[in-house]
Amino acid sequence: MGFSPASPRVNFPELEERILGFWAEQDVFRKTLEARQGCPQFTFYEGPPTANGLPGVHHVLARAYKDAIPRYRTMRGYFVPRKAGWDTHGLPVEIEVEKELGINSKREIEAYGVAEFNRRCKESVFRYEREWVRLSERIGFWLDYERPYVTYSNEYIESVWWILRQLWDRGLLYQGYKVVPYCPRCGTPLSSHEVALGYRETDDPSVIVRLRLTEQPGTSLLVWTTTPWTLPANVACAVHPQVAYVKARQGDEVLVVAKDLADAVLQGSYEVLEEVRGESLVGLKYEPLFRFYPEGDRLWRVWAAEFVTTEEGTGVVHMAPAYGEEDMELARRHGLPVFHPVGPDGRYTEEVPPWAGRFVKDADPEIVEDLRQRGLLYRAGTYRHTYPFCWRCDSPLLYYARTSWHVAVTRCKEQLLRANEQIRWVPEHIQRGRFGNWLENVVDWALSRERYWGTPLPIWVCEACGLQHCVGSLAELREMAAEPLPQPLDLHRPYVDGVRLRCPRCGGILRRVPDLIDVWFDSGAMPVAQWHYPFENQEWFERSFPADYICEGIDQTRGWFYSLHAISVLLFDRPAYRNCVCLELVLDEHGEKMSKSRGNVLDPWSLIQRFGADALRWFFFSVSPPGMPKRLGPAAVEEVVRRFFLTLWNTYVFFTTYASLDRFDPLRWPAPTVNERPALDRWLLSRLAGLVAEATEAMEAYNPTDAARAVERFVEDLSTWYVRRGRRRYWKARDVQDQRSAYHTLYEALVTTAKVMAPLAPFLSEELYQGLVRAVDDGAPVSVHLTDWPQAREQDRDVELERAMEEARWVASLGRAARSRARIRVRQPLASAVVVAPQSLLHRYPELVEYVSEELNCKRVELVGQDSARVEYEVRPRFDVLGPRYGPKVQELAAALDRLSPAEARRVALEGRAVVELAGEQVELGPEELDVRVRQREGFVAEAGRGFVVVLDTRITPELRREGLVRELVHHVQQARREAELRVDQRIVLSVAGPAEVVEAVREHRAAVAEEVLADRVELARELEGFRREVSILGEPVTLVLQPLP
């Protein structure tokens, strides 16, 4: 047992592969769950991916975030079961299979055979499952992949049926003839959240046509549309009753448009004949544009409607009830017929002979041309706007009347909003912003899909009496079945279509409606259906609902976040999750969205293989908060490795190197109490306690970004100040007590850092833990992920010491700047430096001044509160104190203080009080109200800033010069030791040959040189055999020979 020196050459991807092996061999994930059996549960829901495509880098982002919080919670003592899940139904899958089969329509699927088609769908959904699991495991996303929930299983479907039955029983599931967004290629309606996925900018025709008034020859209403294909289905037009319209003469005709739009519409000159209110137009009859339908008295008249606006178009709106929600509403109210001359494939039917069989959008130009020839076209152009396209197949959607099934979500809108209040959103603005707005505008969920691969809608209808029945379980299905159910039972189409039920009312036969349900309902049902609730696992379900934590891309506000929420509120009137983290997009290096068409998609594997999964994870956590977009490229990940991982690693190498030489044993070496430790150690322990507190707070707030950044800052301090300053306290230390303190402090800092990093960088933290803890303690938990999250030791916090150390570091920085200005290298010792600091905490911490002295290589650093010889004073008001008190006059105070002569300023600075005249009155200002700054006077090598001045004594005496030479020489010898690849503790004999001054200096400091470079002897007279090196010391050639001793 004991530490082994870690190698400074580290290959993180390789290290991670080794850790993966270790986890597998030790079954660590299972152990972390077992260790927390019986503890309070923390529930995470995995949003099921569709595994029919390869995972990309954005999935690594999501999975890293999904992983971090459960790991953290496990360390905090919670039991965090994590079930994987796969979304297996729906159009995405069907379209993949259609592509494979080279077909493109429902007709072709039916010809191919639904049974075989669905078999292929089922087969295809797990095509990339192995890739998903492989990537997930490689990045350390711990999830139970052995027992996932799968949405196509009979059990899952049965639970979904149970949910639908609950809704049915409460009258929340209904059938309606409604205008729905409809994909003509897929032949099915889409839900609003699916529509939301497909908006795109496009050019559509923009036409204005004449509706000739029957009883006023020569007068026409003008109507505007971007969908000429809906004109054959026109049954009416609408005006706003309150809006002003004009009858305008233009050429030899009279045109009716809204007054506010007249200029925009009637682009030439015109003459207003009359101005009327919309209501006076109501009832006018016009000539139909087409004669495809028989005349009727109510047809082709003007109606009043409040929804008409004067923001666009003409103020007169064409009504085609089959193709617009408001149109349908108007038709229903006034008993107008619905003309629907378009088939489910988006082509005209025989009702419109000229274009029968044509896809409606393709017929647009011909319809326009036809109207032009008949003199009905007023104007035609194109109109650029955003329009929805099918999110999966990219066809333009049609708004289209269909008989379809809906969930009456709008009836529960208040509950939806109330439940949303109970969710913590990250970022916060989603709650009232994107998600809240969405709920405010919620519409009924268009549930049914006229497709093949999905959860069948469990509604059966009696052929004889029309009874509709919703089946809520397999038992019920079996019981009601007219014939024995087929074995084995597959609840998918076409098998379920063949199941006929006996009518409980009339004894007739019920057949299932052909529809499936929206695939988003599947995933939204997972809190219930993953457990096959209520048919099994009641206690599991109850324990695991609602989720404490979910996390997905922000696009899911309309997707999974919504479907989970809606189903949960409909069923239980509760939110499905308490904390929800929304992730923004992963962009490429140039800030462009990654897409296949741009060819800028980054393969996660290339990054993982180069830099490791932890580096990629860490990049995602630290670069920006979850709700901000992330620019990702190899350079950014490499920087994480260089800036953070390697810095930490090198500190670890430093520790293990010397701890192993010194046989440091953290369990047996007595640890000094914190108060017994020097300021440097107390400072680090204070920083460490602060780190733990900060990281804990951040992780509690679902904010890994702040946690990661806090760790980075700590590691930076640890490496560039703590170890840098304390280096000589370890190996070969003279003061045993100090050495113990140093080892214990550094050890604790590293171990705690490893634990705090564990949820974010599970591999590197494991490696550190193994090398630091398991290496010396058999009794410790096998893995860092089995340890408890560290407690912040508040008693170690010393905010004042931390601030004082900041000052010390600042003074060191000024001192280095002064040396640099004086062109005196740091290796050249100087006799003294004076630090002028009127209001510094350092006066209370002489130890810290000592660190400055070492850092600056000045034998003596004198800290003084005042020094009129070398500095000048500047006095300003404390604006934060005096501003509120004096208001505008604070500027006069500032001016008055600015006018003080150098002598007066000095007096004020030393006395700490000033008397100035303000508007004829004497005002006295005390120390709390003054901001005293010092600046250097000319003629000294000094640097100033933030209330400090550092003045160097730049005189180099012959003694100092010789010491400098020796330091120079030692440096070169150490360099040579390294080049000769000597063991760190290899002893040598050294010979030095060179100019007399160098030789003299070495002679004078022979013992010190010998000790520094581990030489048993230092030869000055004769040259040895061994590793020989020519160096230059202050421009003079010097020959060093190192002879290793046996």
Residues labelled as active-site residues:
48, 87, 520, 556, 560, 593, 596
Residue type (1 letter), 870: R
Task: Between 143 and 711, name the residue whose CB sits nearer to RNA.
Answer: 711
Q: Which of 953, 998, 939 is nearest to 972 (CA)?
A: 998
Tally of CB atoms within 10 A around 1037 = 12
Tell me the CA distances in angstroms from 905 to 631, 866, 922, one per residue in order.
52, 12, 17
Amino acid in position 825: R
What number of other Cβ atoms are within 10 A of residue 666's Cβ? 18
794 and 84 in contact (C-beta within 8 Å)? no
Q: Whose Cβ is closer to RNA: residue 74's or residue 741's?
A: 741
SS (H, E, C) 1004-1026: HCHHHHHHHCCEEEEECCCCCCC
Shortest spacing between CB 526 and RNA, in angstroms: 21
Measured distance CA(738)–CA(847) in Å, rounded = 14
CA–CA gap between residue 341 and residue 350 (Å, rounded): 8
Which conformational region is residue 945 in: left (phi greater than 0), alpha (psi within -120 to 50 degrees), or beta? Answer: left
What is the Cα–Cα distance from 244 to 253, expressed in whole angstroms? 20
E strands of 264-359, at which residues? 271-277, 301-304, 316-319
| Residue with the two structure tokens 């997972």 | 526
Least separation, in Å, of the C-beta of 915 and RNA? 20
Helices (H), 244-359: 262-265, 325-334
Distance of CA 641 to the CA centre of its chain: 20
| Closer residue to RNA, CB minimum distance, 8 or 927 | 8
Burial 681-710 (b: 16+ CB within 10 A, else e): bbbbbbbbbbbbbbbbebbeebbbbbbbbb
Beta-strand ranges (E) seen in 612-710 are 630-631
Smallest distance from RNA to CB 1013, Å: 6
For residue 647, the minimal CB distance to RNA (Å) is: 5
**What is the layout of strands, in order, in the sheet containing 199-212?**
271-277, 244-250, 253-258, 219-225, 199-212, 377-388
Cross-strand partners of 399: 181
**Cβ 591 to RNA shortest distance, Å:** 5
Minimum distance from residue 82 beta carbon to RNA (Å)? 27
Q: Does residue 59 contact residue 135 with C-beta atoms inside 8 Å? A: yes
Crossing angle of helices 560-572 and 154-169, rounded to 10°: 50
As measured in angstroms, the least distance from the Cβ of 852 to RNA is 12
Q: How far is the CB of 54 from RNA (least distance, A)?
A: 21
Task: Give least dist CB 190 to RNA, A.
Answer: 11
> What CA–CA distance (Å, rounded) separates 314 from 255?
11
CB of 726 to RNA, least distance (A): 9
Nearer to RNA, 296 or 634 (CB): 634
Nearer to RNA, 528 or 989 (CB): 989
Residue 628 DSSP symbol: S
Gap between the Cα atoms of 365 and 369, Å rounded: 6
C-beta of 428 vs 777, nearer to RNA? 428
Distance CA 882, CA 891 (A): 10
Shortest distance (Å) from residue 260 CB to RNA: 15
- 3-state secondary structure at position 494: coil
CB 991, CB 1018: distance < 8 Å: yes
- The amino acid occupying position 763 is F
Within 10 Å of residue 443's Cβ, how many Cβ atoms?
12
Helix (H) / strand (E) containing 147 = strand 144-150
Q: Which CB atom, from 292 or from 387, has the smaller least distance to RNA?
A: 387
